[in-house]
Structure formats: C-alpha cells, structure tokens
C-alpha cells in the first residue's frame, strides 16, 4: 500500500512539474490541469486524482500494449514508446475530462512532448522517492 501511495504522489509531483514547465516556456494551453474547484486544496486533489487515473491506465492498458507491441519496440529501438506514452496521456486527459475536470492536452504533439517530459521527471522523482516506497536501492 505504501508503494502505491508513494507512486501516486510521485506521479502527481511529476505531472505538476510538467505543467509548470509548459507554462514557463509560454505554452500553458498545451498541457495543464483544470481543477474541479478553485483553491489550492482542490488543485492538489485534482493532481492526485489525475495521477491515480494515469497509474491505472499506464499499469493496465500500457502494460498490455507493451507486451503486444514488443516486436515494434524492437524494430524502432524503443522510439514507438514515445507515441504509446503520448496516446496513453491523451487517454488519461479524455477520461479525466469526462468528470469535468482534470488533465487537458492541447494536441497529439503536445502529448508527445508532455509524455517525454513527464517520463523524465517521473524517473527522477522515482529515484528520489524510492527509499520511501521500501524498494531495494540496487
């Protein structure tokens, strides 16, 4: 249970930093999170909810796609993973928008860049939070 909570918090932080980077480079409409209500607490809860949806989609659908598309991953030397991650990010945006709040992605290229940045930040945050999750460091 602790791994799940640390993973969700790590994903939420990575998503928050990704939206900050998009805003800092002058493209806040390309990737942002629309909270369900105004205020800091609602924004934090929205980031956590989007992180949970992202974790479920990536864990279930992402794993199935990676298994089925393994030969394509080999042929493209893993570059197709950028497209798969962008499509998963767009799917998370679509699912969260069904509830009237959540992740907003401007388009497919924004999704590709967002997935790349989110993946890098998620990896770095995962390295930092690994001791809290109770995983082995080696």
Per-residue pLDDT of the chain (138 residues; tens, 9 = 90+): 888 899 899 999 999 999 999 999 988 888 999 999 999 999 999 999 999 999 999 999 999 999 999 999 999 988 899 999 999 999 999 999 999 889 999 999 999 999 999 999 999 999 999 888 775 555
Please give the Cα distance from 97 to 34 (Å, whole number): 9
CA trace torsion 32, 9, 60, 22 (10° rounding): 20
Lookup result for tokens 């991953």: 73
pTM of the model: 0.87
Question: Nearest to residue 113, comparing CAs of 19, 46, 49, 47?
Answer: 19
Specify if 138 maps to a domain: no
Q: Look at the chain and report how many structural domains it folds into.
A: 1
- Domain boundaries, position 119: 2-133
DSSP classification of residue 36: S
């Amino acid at each position: 249970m602790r791994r799940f909570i640390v993973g969700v918090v790590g994903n939420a932080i990575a998503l928050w930093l990704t939206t900050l980077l998009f805003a800092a480079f002058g493209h806040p409409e390309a990737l942002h999170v629309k909270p369900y209500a105004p205020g800091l607490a609602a924004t934090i809860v929205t980031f956590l909810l989007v992180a949970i949806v992202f974790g479920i989609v990536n864990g279930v659908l992402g794993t199935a796609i990676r298994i089925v598309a393994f030969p394509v991953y080999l042929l493209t030397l893993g570059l197709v993973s950028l497209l798969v991650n962008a499509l998963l990010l767009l799917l998370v945006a679509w699912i969260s928008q069904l509830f009237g709040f959540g992740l907003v992605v401007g388009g497919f290229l924004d999704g590709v860049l967002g997935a790349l940045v989110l993946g890098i930040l998620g990896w770095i945050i995962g390295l930092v939070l690994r001791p809290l999750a109770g995983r082995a460091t080696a």
